[in-house]
Amino acid sequence: MSNPNVALNQVSLPLHAVQAADLAVFLSVLNAQTAAFLRASGFTAKPGELALLPGSAGLAGAVIGVGAEASPWHYGAAPFALPAESLWHLGQGVTDTANAVLGWHLGAYRWTKHKKPNRAPAQLVTPPGSDEALMLAQAICNARDLINAPATDLGPQQLAEA
């Protein structure tokens, strides 16, 4: 799970969300160069599809496609699709903060007890009011750790302590 304690006052980039049906409207509010870049990249806003947004100093943000129905899975690929260790906040179009936070943290999960991660995930500045989503994500990640652990690591004593 990524770090839920990232400070709100740190500089972060926006992760915007858009449904395919609203893509034309989203493109119309971007500057001409950024809109042209997104069109040229083939971004269609299908759920889970992510595109980086260029800016004058390099990266200005990113946009992720979401479906009409709320789902944490739309955000699950973001932590490893975005640059390693970069810092993000939820931007325009994110209407379901709880699912966005849950999906992000579930997507950031990697079992690393016996295996080093290939890279660090991008980090999310968790918005206020996300405590329930964070607790659910932590519980799921704890269960994943138990499932992924080899049987030789978890005897009755270790399992009881987990």
- Is the CB of residue 51 less than 8 Å from the CB of residue 45? no
pLDDT tens digits, one per residue of 23-44 = 999 999 999 999 999 999 999 9
pLDDT tens digits, one per residue of 3-25 = 555 555 578 999 999 999 999 99
pTM for the model stands at 0.83
Write down the pLDDT at residue 146: 81
Q: Has residue 147 been placed in a domain?
A: yes
Write down the pLDDT at residue 71: 92
User: Which of 32, 124, 56, 52 has the alpha carbon at shortest distance from 86?
Assistant: 124
- Is the CB of residue 100 less than 8 Å from the CB of residue 94? yes
Domain around 141:
13-161
Q: Per the structure, how many domains does the chain have?
A: 1
- Is the CB of residue 17 less than 8 Å from the CB of residue 94? yes
Average pLDDT over residues 120-130: 93
Query: Domain with 62 in it: what CATH number?
Result: 3.40.220.10
Q: Has residue 109 been placed in a domain?
A: yes
Give the dihedral of Cα atoms 134, 63, 83, 130; nearest 10 deg.
-10
CA distance 28 to 101: 27
Q: Has residue 38 been placed in a domain?
A: yes
Q: Has residue 118 been placed in a domain?
A: yes
User: Which of 62, 48, 75, 63 has the alpha carbon at shortest distance from 130?
Assistant: 75
Q: Has residue 5 been placed in a domain?
A: no
pLDDT tens digits, one per residue of 135-161 = 988 988 888 888 777 777 777 777 677
Q: Has residue 3 been placed in a domain?
A: no
Q: Has residue 128 been placed in a domain?
A: yes
Average pLDDT over residues 101-128: 88
Q: Has residue 33 been placed in a domain?
A: yes
DSSP state at residue 76: T
pLDDT tens digits, one per residue of 57-84 = 899 999 999 999 989 999 999 999 999 9
Write down the pLDDT at residue 125: 95
